[in-house]
Chain A
Amino acid sequence: MNDIIRTENLTFRYTTEEGAAPTVLDGLDLSIEAGSFVAVLGHNGSGKSTLAKHFNAILLPSGGKVYVDGMDTVDESRLLDIRRQIGMVFQNPDNQIVASVVEEDVAFAPENLGVPSEEIRTLVDDALKTVGMDQFARHAPHLLSGGQKQRVAIAGVLAMRPRCIVLDEPTAMLDPVGRAEVLSTVKKLNRERGVTVVLITHHMDEAAQADRLIVMHDGKIVRDGSPKEVFRDVEGLRALGLEVPQPVALMYELRRSGVDAPLDTLDADECAAALSKLLS
């Protein structure tokens, strides 16, 4: 199997002045297959953002190893290669945009990497097209909507042609349209371009769209499977401070009332189909 990211017994502690160091990541063994779409869930403070920051060497392990495409993240000589392979997108689009024109912002990373200018043109045009923002190439970023800004941030990452994108709650500050725009962009990148996607989110309906769902709790991976498998355990997830998509929650309520309802209806279509079967 071709793993783009692999962690071995990854442990991370913040060092404090008093020396008392709480363990944030506690011996994680995780492999992320190239080309997959993985969602990571967990309550605030479960360690999921800390984990994500290990994927492109923003943080380095206190113990254990992180490999990106076989490269050890503590190997400084490979740092640039690692960061080219793994692009990061964060929560607040306003903190990620540096230039005053959209296309200049997208060109920022390849320019810094010393890519020849003709090639930059192609990279930028292609990246903006991929996220559906090519018609805004000459616009000022601050006049765009939140969802558009996040798509520009994604384009900026894409211009490096990474094999993997890690998104840390990219939709937390967006309205429903913005959220849908970002999610469909991410899915398209994964399906059509084969880019590996790691999506950290608090939205259960977004997590439900991934191929694989990882749940973190107290620095450990406590669930790992397809969304259908993971969301079946309604009570277990609630005990971890999480929820399930509402179509699953409805089926769970019906089961508690003695109805033999299936627990694998992740979206409105599946849920309506199952209910119509029950009621026919």
Chain B
Amino acid sequence: MDPIIETRQLTHVYSEGTPFRHVALEGVDFSAMPGEYIAVIGRTGSGKSTLIQHLNGLLKPTSGEVLFDGGDIWSSKERTHQVRFQVGLVFQYPEYQLFEETVYQDISFGPKNMGLDKEEIDRRVRQAARFVGLDDGVLDKSPFDLSGGQKRRVAIAGVIAMEPQVLILDEPTAGLDPSGAAQILENIRAYHQEKNACVILVSHSMEEVAREAERLVVIDHGHIPFSGPPADVFAHGPELEKMGLGVPAMTRVFARLRAMGVDVPASVYTVEQARDAVLSALAKRGGER
């Protein structure tokens, strides 16, 4: 299988030729497969926002290439335009970008720009609303009458309504309470599974990325030092701490246990895995007696 989106030797330099020159990305090779669920982790200022803004053509590489479905996204104006519909980007705190009179109009903004007919727009708006758990009654309301969590879901629906093959979300759960955060993650998972879309989640919560993503991509100082399944990446605990990232709470608990000489696996990163590991250690101990 070929990547749906890919960067080759991507370098981005801000304020080139001024004293503020800053190399945000340097020779980055990033790729995502169709239907893959990836989480991008890195400190503020590590370059992760710069990377995702290249994936849908909001930023142009200083050097290197960005390929969508095998073709350079900058090969023509028309191509760049089309890629922006195929690679949907949900910014941080997207609820501040709502502007239409009704929720329906807000969600239909993207599909309208794609030049779709009215019926198709209607189908997409309703389906996107359903994906994010908004019922039909909300569609005629003003987005400004909704709660913060609901507004955020409207903003995500607006991107989902374009039915992008790649859905990128920059910290979609920041500032939400635990149940609001869990709901949004569930909505994203539903879109990922039903549309077989590639999801790229940017998050500061190691627990969240451990639970949601199949693969983690670590960004540090404009480079990708590690990438792989959560178990592999979290095995680099000390390096991650040095980058200011750390490991999930359960990984930390199990590292302590191992340091105490208790025989438990090192590759634990969710509560469920931790429970199973403890239960099997208990069963083993029972068997020895």
From B148, B174, B253, A275 is in contact (CB under 8 Å) with B253
A217-256 interface mask toward B, CB cutoff 8 Å, 1 = contact, 0 = none?
A: 0000000000000000000000001110111011001100
A44 and B249 contact, CB distance less than 8 A: no
A74 within 8 A of B: no
A246 and B176 contact, CB distance less than 8 A: no
Smallest CB separation, B133 vs chain A (Å): 14
B226-266 interface mask toward A, CB cutoff 8 Å, 1 = contact, 0 = none?
A: 00000000000000000011101110111011001010100
From B175, B179, B262, B282, A276 is in contact (CB under 8 Å) with B262
B174 and A177 contact, CB distance less than 8 A: no
Kindly list chain A residues whose C-beta atoms are within 8 Å of the C-beta of B149: 44
A205 within 8 A of B: yes
Q: For A42, A176, A243, which residue has the most chain B Cβ atoms within 10 angstroms?
A: A176
From A169, A175, A279, B44 is in contact (CB under 8 Å) with A175
Kindly list chain B residues whose C-beta atoms are within 8 Å of the C-beta of A272: 253-254, 256-257, 260
Q: Which residue of A lies closest to B175 (CB)?
A: A172
From B206, B254, B282, A259 is in contact (CB under 8 Å) with B282
Interface SS of chain B: helix, strand, loop or mixed? helix
Report Cα–Cα, A70/B246, bound state, in Å.
44
A279 and B281 contact, CB distance less than 8 A: yes
A174 within 8 A of B: yes
From A202, A205, A245, A280, B176 is in contact (CB under 8 Å) with A202
B180-209 interface mask toward A, CB cutoff 8 Å, 1 = contact, 0 = none?
A: 110000000000000000000000101100
B274 and A250 contact, CB distance less than 8 A: yes
A166 within 8 A of B: no
B289 within 8 A of A: no
A279 and B282 contact, CB distance less than 8 A: yes
Report Cα–Cα, A269/B249, bound state, in Å.
10
Q: Which residue of B lies closest to A256 (CB)?
A: B275
Known: A175-B244, A253-B271. A242 touches B179 (CB 8 A): yes
Report Cα–Cα, A159/B176, bound state, in Å.
31
B253 and A259 contact, CB distance less than 8 A: no
Known: A250-B274, A275-B257. A268 touches B44 (CB 8 A): no
Known: A44-B149, A176-B206. A257 touches B252 (CB 8 A): no
Report Cα–Cα, A204/B60, bound state, in Å.
40
B279 within 8 A of A: yes
Smallest CB separation, B51 vs chain A (Å): 16
A279 and B262 contact, CB distance less than 8 A: yes
Smallest CB separation, A234 vs chain B (Å): 11
B249 and A202 contact, CB distance less than 8 A: no
Kindly list chain B residues whose C-beta atoms are within 8 Å of the C-beta of A250: 250, 253, 271, 274-275, 278
Q: Which residue of B lies closest to A239 (CB)?
A: B179
B69 within 8 A of A: no
B253 and A268 contact, CB distance less than 8 A: yes
B279 and A257 contact, CB distance less than 8 A: yes
Kindly list chain A residues whose C-beta atoms are within 8 Å of the C-beta of B245: 176
A115-145 interface mask toward B, CB cutoff 8 Å, 1 = contact, 0 = none?
A: 0000000000000000000000000000001
Binding site for A on B (CB under 8 A): 43-45, 147-149, 174-181, 204, 206-207, 244-246, 248-250, 252-254, 256-257, 260, 262, 264, 271-272, 274-275, 278-279, 281-282, 285
| 6 contacting pairs across A/B (C-beta < 8 A) | A173-B175, A174-B44, A175-B244, A271-B253, A272-B256, A276-B257
